[in-house]
Amino acid sequence: MFNRKNFYLAALFASTLGCMACYVVPLSAYLARPELSVSAGRYMSALGLGGLAAVLVARWTAKIPGRFAVALYGLLAALGAGIAYVSLAASTPNLTTLGIAMTILGVGQFSLLGRTQARVVAETRPGKAIPYIFLSATALWVALQLSLSAATPRFFLFAASFALLASFLSLVGPGEPRTDETSEKNAAPNKTQKPNFIAIFRGAPAFFLAIFFASIFASNFYFSECGRLCVDVFPKVSALKLNAVLQISEVATLLSLTALISLVGGLKRAIVAALSLSAVRYGLLGFAEPTSAFVAMLGHGVTYVGLQSVVPALYVDRCFSDESERKNAQTLLAVAAFAAPSAASGIVAEALERAATNADGVVAWSGVFGPAALVLVILAVFFAIFGREPNANSSADKAEANENADAA
């Protein structure tokens, strides 16, 4: 039952759950308690900064065997989560320690998630395995959130537990795949071009700029501010249950993604639609009214899938026919659409919140979400004018064409 592939899949499942535990925790709602009344923006940015640093850590540890690298990342993530729990669980939370812990947690958790995904890609068909792991982990996490009644620092203990589980599974699992030395000696020399991390600028500059700046007003910006907003708008509803609504929206969008892309007529229009819907969503949140806020939460999945995960990756895949350029562009996209903006978005959110807060401590939420909506409208217009529909010439398309030819 537990062969090499299953060990890797189990480690990826555990690391995915750990990532959800540290990232979806309604930290902003917890810190917004009257005795603290602290914006979570800087701490969400610390998590994003850790994710950005994970890119460098991955390069520094590239030569470490996969099983030991995953074990190391899991221990690092557990350490950061443990420090975060201790700093929040104290009678007087140590917020400086919390910021350091979130950075360590970001480095460990995102390194862990990236390396376990890489191992699954090497052992099985990622197009089939990874989506099912994400969907099943999300379903389990939604059930866990719905079963709890309030935001709590214990979520960091969940993150630490899942990270340790992924570390243990990788450490005791099968070793690295054996290599055939004779085959390696007789293999043709690698003539692929050297990594070119500016390929995405040459191939799709409008796309890159739109995704980068839109991502500043996604993920961390949303989580750090929406948690505070929910304290005002839904004082009697658990922030965990509201977070479960966001994840249900993600799953629903993923399950219907193919139909949605066909409905709007291509990937370019799908991104324009995601930008436009994100602007509408922030406009609704600016009213700070229960009905409009709940409707805005239902649109979270379109923003996440359309601007930060699946649709941008599909767009890049169809922009480059060369395998080397395509891989480098996907790497740069991961940095541009997630790590770098995440490190800045929490700071931007906190600055807007501070400017929109009056002397009595009341936040004018239109002053927080209004500027974000305006930027997203500008980006939607920009990409609609200067963006282009990518050509269907990717390696994935060629592989599918070859399979169809073989079947015929």
By the 10 Å C-beta count (0-12 exposed, 13-18 middle, 19+ buried), 321 is classed as middle
Q: What is the DSSP letter of 337?
A: I
Instruction: State how far the Cα of 118 lies from the Cα of 124, in Å rounded to an integer.
Output: 10
- How many Cα atoms occupy the beta-carbon half-sphere of 66 within 13 Å? 25
Distance CA 38, CA 108 (A): 25
- Output the pLDDT for position 190: 44
Measured distance CA(295)–CA(293) in Å, rounded: 5
Q: Which two tokens stand for residue 2?
A: 């537990």
Q: How far is 312 from 332, CA to CA, in rounded Å?
A: 12
Domains in the chain, CATH or no CATH each: 1-175 (1.20.1250.20), 194-399 (1.20.1250.20)
CA atoms lying within 13 Å on the CB side of residue 153: 19
Q: Where are the alpha helices (DSSP H) in 219-266?
A: 219-233, 239-255, 257-264
- CA–centroid distance for 293 within its chain: 22
Q: Are 13 and 137 in contact, with CB atoms under 8 Å apart?
A: yes
Q: For residue 363, what are the β-bridge partners?
A: 357
Residues with Cβ within 8 Å of 328's Cβ and at least 6 positions away in sequence, in order, are 195, 196, 197, 199, 200
Successive 10-residue mean pLDDT values, the chain, 408 residues? 68 86 71 77 86 82 82 93 91 89 91 81 62 84 81 85 90 60 44 52 83 86 83 83 87 89 91 95 93 92 86 85 72 73 86 89 91 96 93 53 50
Angle ∠(300,303,307) on CA atoms, nearest 5: 155
